[in-house]
A and B are shown apart, each in its own frame.
Chain A
Amino acid sequence: QSALTQPRSVSGSPGQSVTISCTGTSSDVGGYNYVSWYQQHPGKAPKLMIYDVSKRPSGVPDRFSGSKSGNTASLTISGLQAEDEADYYCCSYAGSFDVVFGGGTKLTVL
């Protein structure tokens, strides 16, 4: 079981859009539509932003969207705001009741 691959960092200016990729294998990301994304601010617990690839929990702005193609999932944040600056982690069900996280991506709002 290997961690999912995410870029270490991405950046964008306020109002712009950024996309964070999350690459796995056919045993995790590609095999199930159970990809979730979490936002983590420093010193805080992660917060669920996207589940089941593209669904948003209540209270999450529609600026956050998710998608998947093959073994790669993506999180897109449009209309970047200063408060979006955080670490983002993807997570996928990996069979046998197991889950695997990505290595995390630091989003900087310029």
Chain B
Amino acid sequence: QLQLQESGPGLVKPSETLSLTCTVSGGSISSSSYYWGWIRQPPGKGLEWIGSIYYSGSTYYNPSLKSRVTISVDTSKNQFSLKLSSVTAADTAVYYCARRSRFVDVWGQGTTVTVSS
């Protein structure tokens, strides 16, 4: 059974870069049928799609975050990563990694990232 696990610092200082990694187990990230993405949820608020990547490296970003987001993939490690630059308190959220095709069918458990000095 496919599982996704987020990892990375839980606390990031304002203006710095948030970096998270998602490790895929129980299946290959190189599957041609799926995209791999990041979704976030600020405290008490709704879900926001950040962006996604295909195993080939093609990326697709939410226009509202595009200038600050980089998603990359490492097929040798079966991992994909998120970098969000110049963070502010508004970037404090639970960050989920996920697998999607026409819909998101597998979610990571989520990791809380707090932006604070």
Contacts and interface: CB of A to CB of B under 8 A. Distances in A.
A binds B: yes
Interface of A: 1, 3, 34, 36, 38, 45-48, 51-52, 57, 89, 91, 93, 96-104
A1 B39 CA distance: 15
B102 interface: yes
Interface residues of B, number: 23
B109 A45 contact: yes
Contacts, number: 60
Given A1-B62, A1-B64, A46-B107, A99 B100 contact: yes
A44 to B, nearest CB: 8
A101 B47 contact: yes
A89 B35 contact: no
A23 to B, nearest CB: 15
Contacts of A38: 47, 104
Contacts of B60: 96-98
Contacts of B102: 34, 36, 51-52, 93
B46 A103 contact: yes
Given A45-B96, A89-B47, A103-B46, A97 B107 contact: no
A89 B46 contact: yes
Contact of B62 (A47, A51, A98, A104): A98
A57 B108 CA distance: 18
B103 A45 contact: no
